[in-house]
């Protein structure tokens, strides 16, 4: 079966030049997700993190998966010095969404084009 391009318009719309997700066999690739268009859009990094993980998990669920099927995240953060050590609220939010089934996660410091975006996360899920 050829890869399927997915929109997830009811969860988080894709832009005009990319697919929100691509499913290739049992692997689901999700484009970078921010908190834009949500109540957390102008909120704290932790509010944005919670919203983004919720969106990513809902997209995986829309394809028949669950949070534990997310095997890899890449997290792009505007202020990496605020994320280390990785403890407290970050751990609580990840635990709330993933329990003890954490995905692999790479964190990268970046400069975003707008001040309201504090982080963006893309994901890979292996669906059963």
Each domain of the chain, given as residue ranges in start order, spans 4-126
Q: Give the architecture (CATH level 2) of 4-126.
A: 2-Layer Sandwich (3.30)
Predicted confidence (pLDDT) at residue 86 exceeds the cutoff of 90: no
- Mean pLDDT of all residues belonging to the chain: 95
**30-75 per-position pLDDT tens digit:** 999 999 999 999 999 999 999 999 999 999 999 999 999 999 999 9
- How many whole angstroms separate alpha carbon 34 and alpha carbon 61? 18
Enter the pTM of the model.
0.95
Residue of 127, 106, 125, 123 lying closest to 34 (CA atoms): 123
Positive or negative torsion for Cα 92, 93, 98, 102: negative
């Amino acid at each position: 079966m050829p890869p399927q391009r997915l929109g997830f318009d009811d969860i988080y719309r894709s832009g005009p030049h990319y697919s929100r997700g691509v499913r290739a066999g049992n692997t689901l690739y999700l484009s970078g997700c921010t908190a834009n268009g949500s109540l957390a859009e102008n909120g704290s990094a932790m509010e944005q993190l919670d919203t983004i993980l919720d969106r990513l998990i809902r997209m995986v669920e829309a394809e028949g998966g669950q949070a534990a099927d997310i095997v890899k995240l890449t997290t792009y953060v505007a202020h990496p010095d605020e994320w280390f050590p990785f403890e407290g609220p970050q751990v609580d939010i990840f635990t709330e969404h993933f329990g003890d089934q954490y995905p692999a996660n790479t964190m990268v410091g970046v400069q975003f084009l707008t001040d309201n975006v504090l982080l963006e996360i893309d994901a890979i899920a292996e669906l059963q």
